[in-house]
Amino acid sequence: MPHGARILNFRSGTTMSVDAKPPVFDCDQHYYEPLDAFTRHCPKGWEERTVQIAQIGKRTRMLVGGRLDRTVTNPTFDPIVKPGAMTDYFRGNKAGRPLQEYLAQREPLPDYYRDRDARLKKMDEQEIDRVWMLPSLGMGIEEGLQYDVEAAAVAFKAFNRFLLDDWGYNYQDRIYTAPYLAFGDVDAAVAEVEHGLANGARIFVVRPQAVYTKDGWQSPGSEIFDPIWARIHEAGVTLVPHVGEIGGAGLDKYVDHHGNIIGGVAPPLEVAVGHDRAIGNYLGALTCDRLFERFPDLHIASVENGAEFLPLLLKGLNRANYQRPGYFASDPVEQFKTHVWVSPFWEDDLLEVVGYMGVDQVLFGSDYPHPEGLAEPRHYEKLAAELNDPAAERKIMWENTAMLTGLS
Q: How far is CA 313 from the centre of its chain?
A: 20
Q: What is the CA radius of gyration of the chain?
A: 21
Element (H, E) at 300: strand 299-302
Measured in residues, the chain has a length of 408
Write out pLDDT tens, residues 201-259.
999 999 999 999 999 999 999 999 999 999 999 999 999 999 998 876 667 777 776 65
Which phi and psi angles does 319 have, rounded to 5°?
A: -65, -45
Statement: residue 85 has pLDDT above 90? yes
Neighbours of 23 (CB within 10 A): 21
Q: Is residue 62 part of a domain?
A: no
Domain assignment present for 49:
no
Which CATH number covers residue 158? Answer: 3.20.20.140
| % of residues, the chain, pLDDT over 70 | 92
Closest residue by Cα to residue 394 from 22, 18, 20, 11: 22
31 in any annotated domain: yes
Give the pLDDT score at 19.
55
For residue 1, tell me if it sits in a domain.
no
CA gap 190, 192 in Å, rounded = 5
Q: What's the distance, CA 382 to chain centroid?
A: 23
The CA distance from 121 to 126, in Å, is 9
In a domain, 76, yes or no: no
Determine contact, residues 184/153, Cβ cutoff 8 Å. Answer: yes
pTM (2 decimals)? 0.93
Pairing status of strand 238-241 against strand 216-218: unpaired
In terms of Cα–Cα distance, which of 187, 196, 151 is closest to 38? 151
Q: Output the average pLDDT for the chain.
A: 92
Under the banding of pLDDT at 50, 70 and 90, the label for residue 70 is confident
For residue 263, what pLDDT is reported? 54
Which sign does the torsion angle of CA 12, 83, 345, 247 carry?
Answer: negative
The predicted structure's pLDDT at residue 353: 98
On whether residue 338 sits in a domain, the answer given is: yes
d(CA 137, CA 153) in angstroms, rounded, equals 17
**Model confidence over 165-174: pLDDT tens digits?**
999 999 999 9
Per the structure, how many domains does the chain have? 1
Confidence of residue 154 (pLDDT cuts 50, 70, 90): very high
Rounded CA separation 12/23 (Å):
7
- pLDDT tens digits, 311-369: 999 999 999 999 999 999 999 999 999 999 999 999 999 999 999 999 999 999 999 99
Do strands 175-177 and 130-134 pair parallel, antiparallel, or not at all (unpaired)?
parallel
Concatenating the DSSP letter of every residue in 212-226 gives: EETTEEE-TTSGGGH
Q: Considering the domain boundaries, does residue 84 fall inside one?
A: no
Is 330 or 11 the better-scoring residue by pLDDT? 330
Sorting pLDDT into bands at 50, 70 and 90, what band is 274?
confident
pLDDT attached to residue 271: 77
Residue 3: the pLDDT is 29
pLDDT in tens, 373-382: 999 999 999 9
Contacts of 115-120 with CB under 8 Å at 24 or more apart are 116/166, 116/167, 116/168, 116/171, 116/175, 119/31, 119/175, 120/171, 120/172, 120/174, 120/175
Whether the upstream peptide bond of residue 369 has omega within 30° of 0, thus cis, is yes
Range of the domain at 280: 26-35+112-404
Reply yes or no: is the peptide bond before residue 79 cis, omega within 30 of 0: yes
pLDDT of residue 13: 45
What is the model's pLDDT at position 9?
35
Residue 400 lies in a domain: yes
- pLDDT (0 to 100) of residue 249: 62
